[in-house]
Amino acid sequence: MLHDQNAAGDDVQLQNIVSLSALYSRLADGGYHVTSPRRLARLGPGAGAIIDRWIQESAEALIDSMVAINCLINPDAILIGGRLPAHLVDQLAAALNSRMADFASQLPAIAHVARAVTADDAPAVGAAILPFSHSLLPTRFALLKSG
């Protein structure tokens, strides 16, 4: 589980900052009751300010992990997705790219962060691949050595 430290030095779980439930909680504190990602696209400007703060704080919470990924793995790109609406994933990716630019002089290369193309369709893509997975890929038992 990924952790971060807040300004007081307390250990904070990343999922309590960068998750839909954390965003829903912040919106609820601001008077906006949201129970599904689809509803996030239909909120007013007041909720937009809450979402913008969440995106900035999420980018800040993710920055140490992003630097580590760049240093250890050195990927060409980092793709993000999930149930968050595409326009919010794009905003989070832009915030991460902007924040990563601050480390350009310290890192040999910086991977561009972008929304995974299938981010909105991930559940459908996952469901569509199941028959192929079942029919074409070996079971885990077939891969085990028998002794």
Question: Any idea where the domains of the chain sit in the sequence?
Answer: 3-138
CA distances from 16 to 1, 40, 57, 121, 125 (A): 11, 18, 11, 25, 28
Give me the pLDDT at residue 13, please.
86
CA distances from 145 to 5, 139, 142 (A): 44, 13, 8
> Residue range 30-57: average pLDDT?
92
Percentage of the chain beyond pLDDT 70 is: 79
The per-residue pLDDT of the chain, averaged, comes to: 84
- Label residue 32 exposed, middle or buried (CB < 10 Å: 0-12, 13-18, 19+): middle
> Residue range 23-51: average pLDDT?
92
Q: Which of 46-50, 79-83, 133-137 is the least confident region?
A: 133-137
- For tokens 């307390």, the residue is 10
Q: Any idea what DSSP says for residue 145?
A: P
pLDDT by residue (tens digit) across 85-130?
Answer: 889 999 999 999 999 999 999 988 999 999 988 656 667 777 777 7
Does the pLDDT of residue 35 top 80, yes or no? Answer: yes
Cα Rg of the chain, angstroms: 19
Architecture of domain 3-138: 2-Layer Sandwich (3.30)
* pTM, entire model: 0.74
> Residue range 11-34: average pLDDT?
90
> Residue range 32-60: average pLDDT?
93
Does the pLDDT of residue 58 top 50, yes or no? Answer: yes
Partnered with residue 80 across adjacent β-strands are 115
